[in-house]
Structure 1
């Protein structure tokens, strides 16, 4: 319940005229036991207020009891609307630094007076109602809730928690939670350490498998209390089964409805469409967005003069719909003698039995194809991340951040050497975003400077000699509602950098030879293999453009700094080129793997891909040997075994660094990495990292 000014006002208030005397005011103050009086005009509209203090000061200044108050009231009065809530009223009183306000109705007539003390009482009443409601909710929901204080003693438990755990006759107040549930001890330590919510998908509480959430309440960076919310998994399994069964029935019903009649439409009582078959949209030639929630009389005007509630049930009539003669049957949806909606069955196809069967088969196939297409789209959204193949922690961090960054419109700058996969990351940002437009790529280094401007901005007809008739849209226009990827942005000429800055800041530009600014909605992603900060110091790159581009940046490490990715990339490219060239090459020889791991790969992933492709094309054996890698100067090496790969691992270096930073605290290191302590211990064992004072 939200209390308003109307709930708090004093309706028994003093109301006087300007010609009233000081004597009348004082008498009213005594009678009403009030410190404030409202002064109104002949139409009962508020003109001001007077208070005890105003009157006292007037008497001290020499006024008599017969002095009228026409000059003894305050006209600048704080007023509140009748629907003003507590918080708004409090803010206005504090801002005006007054102790009272007058509440007016819509006609500016006085409803009453509200004071600070009235507001305070209102807050207490509102708080009491809120606590009562909250307690009612927690005691009646079928989910167990136990609340503990910072000493881990129970301060609240609801009815469901007692029933789920078989503690119906127990009072849990003031008991240590770890005495009741020792299995929670480890997780409570983690909660008090991390001060973050913890979700346990499956935990045995008193021999019951439960879904458990531990939710800390943090006040002034300290945990005030922790709520343990749990539900028995068997009940959740039953709900999931019921939902699955219901969804199956809905799918079955929809399939039946799709295939029973040529077209079917269901509306509510007002004729708004809330279901229609595919055949109905085909009959009208309209898309889904132009049918759902529309009134059927707007789509079939011939029904406009029909009084649907008065029609007999099973009413049928031949109506012309979209230049097609249709037999329309109208049925009422009735429950307890009340009409809730209508069903329209529309037959319009003249077909024999064979065509009917074929039509039904095609409809079912279409439904299956639509489902597959929806699933394919969902898979495709995630597949763009799978294209970034890595086990390197730095690149994996980039992958984890991409879905979050993609949902924003912020500019992204991708740094890295040629061939590291910058375009792959740019494309993933676009694919994971909600943008409906295209992904437009332009390489700023591959187009001559005198042509680059027309490529980016487009041009109008006659803008220059040789300009196409009708002009030509530029890449910015083509990327409207989508994403533009400016590759090799470090090679953009200075003359174009200022113009690009305007597009970034104003989201508008002019075509070459144009006079009308064009507005666009574009997501900008830029990439370069150059050091833009060095270019800025050399005067070859604008600082304002750099800082505008560098809102979010990713730095992709070169392949020689993530050698642990080389074996899995080789395996991936081998699979791709086997399929492309119909080969059956099983693997790469061990000595070649060692040599490839030692090679510096200045062309990065692109160079590795090209080397593997050439080897696959030339290979006639089931194993790639050294003979097929003569195009690169492979180093002579002994055995670059897995231990060497692990030793190079940035993940190992990161874990050692974090152990030093957090004084060997495994909990803090695991929290920083976003993994469990169990997973951390596995990694410590994998990399042979000892918990010694060296890390303290």
Structure 2
């Protein structure tokens, strides 16, 4: 159709409506808009349609839609009169679109059909970005619910922990991998989170327990997966741990429990700094920092071929070894005070006094579970308290039994003569028990002559043990 005939034809179709105004309006619409008349002639083709299909307005307007598309959805709707909503369609080879199309009626008279199309790949990308943002939001909500960082800022004034804090502050702004070692419950995750917060990274801090992820789920959990990647997969796909931590920090706790097969995959990610989702094809570049933690000796595991040496050196650029709580005696009162306030507020309790005897026992206990155990004990003491005063009977029974069995504390009388007598009886009984009543060996343990031991056994009327 010649240009002058096109213009007359279109004006007639629109009953003298200002066609240029209509075109200006449709050009402002983000979707690709196409309108055909009852014969299949294209009478509206906006700029988004030009861009989506790479067909110029001047070329297609006034022409039959079938000259350009063998299977245009808008043409099918023209023929059938049945509307179609949100259907994936491929009018051009390898060019999927999400199409909506419906019949066009003007004053109850059928005049053709109209369609609005969107690039399917673009929609998929936008949807993926939305899902990623939603996953991050859900992750943050869960972190708040878990109340991560219940310790607040790292607590401690002992020289052993102050040195570690200084080192953490020094290396925080760098991009170097950090390995945090120490016994279970020493606060490795708190340190890792502190390093992340001081690093200035804009992304998330994502903690993950390596020992809790089965080998068969490693790739899908860490790399994420696309829709339909495997049976049982979420139809929307899922963002992985590495992608979630992009621009931020991933904290690999219990790294020593990661199977060798998983270690190889982790090493590749750290070397390549990119991942591909399970079932996907596009690689995703990563900019993340890795902080690891373990309570095991990875060096010994390397020697016994239970941990990859190359991965060990990749992770252990800077090592921070956290001291156990028993080596931070002066910090115990700080933790006790902090946890009492924390759990009192959380449980609407009013703790007004803690007996010195209780503080003495808690200070002398060895805390094999470290800070985590202390936190658990203080929570127990607070929630079971009735009168706001913490006394000896508030302490969990297992701690009192442990202290008694190991004789870490004993209340001796103020009378020195009586106190010395009780101490001697106690130590003699202990020596006899250890040596199975061999008095010669017992005397050596006590560092006294054997005759003196016999005399004291008679004096204190100590029976055979």
Q: Of 300, 325, 334, which residue of structure 2 is paired with 1:559?
A: 325
Aligned to 2:285: 519
Spell out the pairing of 1:577-616 with structure 2 (5 A cutoff): 577-616=343-382
Deviation at 1:531, TM superposition (A): 1.2
Deviation at 1:623, TM superposition (A): 2.0
Counterpart secondary structure, 1:445: helix
Aligned to 1:428: 194
Q: Is the contact made by 1:385 and 1:428 (CA closer than 8 Å) also made in structure 2?
A: no
Aligned to 1:621: 387
Q: Of 228, 239, 246, which residue of structure 2 is paired with 1:480?
A: 246
Counterpart secondary structure, 2:330: helix
Deviations 1:312-335 (A, max 9, x none): xxxxxxxxxxxxxxxxxxxxxxxx
Distance, in Å, in 1 between the alignment partners of 2:208 and 2:172 is 20
Distance, in Å, in 2 between the alignment partners of 1:515 and 1:622 is 62
Distance, in Å, in 2 between the alignment partners of 1:408 and 1:639 is 52
Distance, in Å, in 2 between the alignment partners of 1:532 and 1:587 is 45
Q: 1:605 to 1:384 in 2, by over 3 A?
A: closer
Provide structure 2 residue ranges, at least 5 long, that are not aligned to the other structure.
Answer: 1-148, 413-465
Aligned to 1:213: none
Deviation at 1:515, TM superposition (A): 3.0
Counterpart secondary structure, 1:632: helix
Relative to the length of structure 2, the TM-score reads: 0.53
Distance, in Å, in 2 between the alignment partners of 1:434 and 1:506 is 23
Q: Is the contact made by 1:591 and 1:639 (CA closer than 8 Å) also made in structure 2?
A: no
Aligned to 1:506: 272
Spell out the pairing of 1:215-226 with structure 2 (5 A cutoff): none
Aligned CA-pair RMSD: 2.0
Q: Is the contact made by 1:581 and 1:617 (CA closer than 8 Å) also made in structure 2?
A: yes
Tell me if 1:404 matches 2:170. yes
Relative to the length of structure 1, the TM-score reads: 0.36
Q: Is the contact made by 1:502 and 1:509 (CA closer than 8 Å) also made in structure 2?
A: no
Deviation at 1:513, TM superposition (A): 2.7
Distance, in Å, in 2 between the alignment partners of 1:384 and 1:407 is 24
Distance, in Å, in 1 between the alignment partners of 2:175 and 2:411 is 48
Deviation at 1:444, TM superposition (A): 0.8
Q: Is the contact made by 1:416 and 1:556 (CA closer than 8 Å) also made in structure 2?
A: yes
Counterpart secondary structure, 2:262: helix
Deviation at 1:433, TM superposition (A): 1.3
- Report how many aligned residue pairs link the two structures: 258
Q: Is the contact made by 2:377 and 2:396 (CA closer than 8 Å) also made in structure 1?
A: no
Counterpart secondary structure, 2:366: coil
Deviations 1:273-321 (A, max 9, x none): xxxxxxxxxxxxxxxxxxxxxxxxxxxxxxxxxxxxxxxxxxxxxxxxx
Distance, in Å, in 2 between the alignment partners of 1:599 and 1:384 is 23
Relative contact order higher in (CA < 8 Å, ≥ 6 apart): 2
Distance, in Å, in 2 between the alignment partners of 1:548 and 1:588 is 48
Deviations 1:588-631 (A, max 9, x none): 22122221122121111010011011111111123211211134
Distance, in Å, in 2 between the alignment partners of 1:594 and 1:403 is 33
Deviations 1:98-140 (A, max 9, x none): xxxxxxxxxxxxxxxxxxxxxxxxxxxxxxxxxxxxxxxxxxx
Counterpart secondary structure, 2:306: coil
Distance, in Å, in 2 between the alignment partners of 1:452 and 1:430 is 24
Deviation at 1:516, TM superposition (A): 2.7
Counterpart secondary structure, 2:282: coil
Deviation at 1:384, TM superposition (A): 10
Provide structure 1 residue ranges, at least 5 long, that are not aligned to the other structure.
Answer: 1-382, 641-696
